[in-house]
């Protein structure tokens, strides 16, 4: 079941510049896993060495932060829209 994931600008160099990709998965964890398999360089940007999602990257299912749902075990369905929202600091 493919689910759409929005890739933020800073991570697009690692997804062949795609801004939206579709991956299969039942949970957020599966989606991220499958996405990192397809684009191996994404992995170290999304996860720290111990495999945890990096703390400057938040994942949203629709408009809700997965930290306030079921974390990476949050279930997803085809109509859901996933966003990866990293901290950016530019302003100058």
Partner 1 sequence: MHREVELTREEFLRYGRHLIMPEVGLKGQKKLKSASVLIVGAGGLGSSLAFYLTAAGVGRIGIVDFDVVDLSNLQRQIIHTTRDVGRSKLESAREKLSALNPSVEIETYETRLTSENAIEIIKDYDIVVDGTDNFPTRYLVNDACVLLKKPNVYGSIFRFEGQVSVFYAEKGPCYRCLYQEPPPPGLVPSCAEGGVLGVLPGIIGTIQALEVIKLILGIGEPLIGKLLLFDALKMRFRELKLRKNPSCPVCGENPTIKELIDYEEFCGITPERILHELGFEITAEELKSKLENGENIILIDVREPHEYEINRIHGSRLIPLSELPEKVNELDQTSEIVLYCKMGGRSARAVQFLRELGFTRVKNLAGGIDAWIEKVDPSMPKY
How far is it, in rounded angstroms, from Cα 56 to Cα 21?
21
- 24 vs 66, which CB is nearer to partner 1? 66
State the nearest-atom distance from the C-beta of 38 to partner 1, in Å: 14
Q: 7, 83 in Cβ contact below 8 A?
A: no
State the nearest-atom distance from the C-beta of 1 to partner 1, in Å: 23
State the nearest-atom distance from the C-beta of 74 to partner 1, in Å: 14
- CB atoms inside a 10 Å sphere around CB 92: 3
- 19 vs 78, which CB is nearer to partner 1? 19
Residues near partner 1 (CB under 8 A): 8-10, 13-14, 19, 41, 45, 54-56, 58, 60, 63-65, 67-68, 83, 85-92
Nearest Cα neighbor of 36 from 46, 22, 48, 26 is: 46
- Residue whose pair of structure tokens reads 């579709």 in the numeric block: 22
């Amino acid at each position: 079941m493919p689910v759409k994931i929005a890739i933020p600008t800073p991570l697009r160099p690692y997804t062949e510049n795609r801004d939206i990709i579709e991956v299969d998965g039942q949970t957020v964890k599966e989606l991220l896993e499958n996405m990192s398999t397809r684009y191996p360089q994404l992995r170290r940007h999304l996860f720290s060495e111990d495999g945890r999602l990096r703390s400057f990257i938040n994942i949203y299912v629709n408009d809700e932060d997965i930290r306030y749902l079921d974390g990476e075990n949050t279930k997803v369905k085809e109509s859901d829209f996933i966003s990866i929202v990293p901290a950016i600091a530019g302003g100058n």
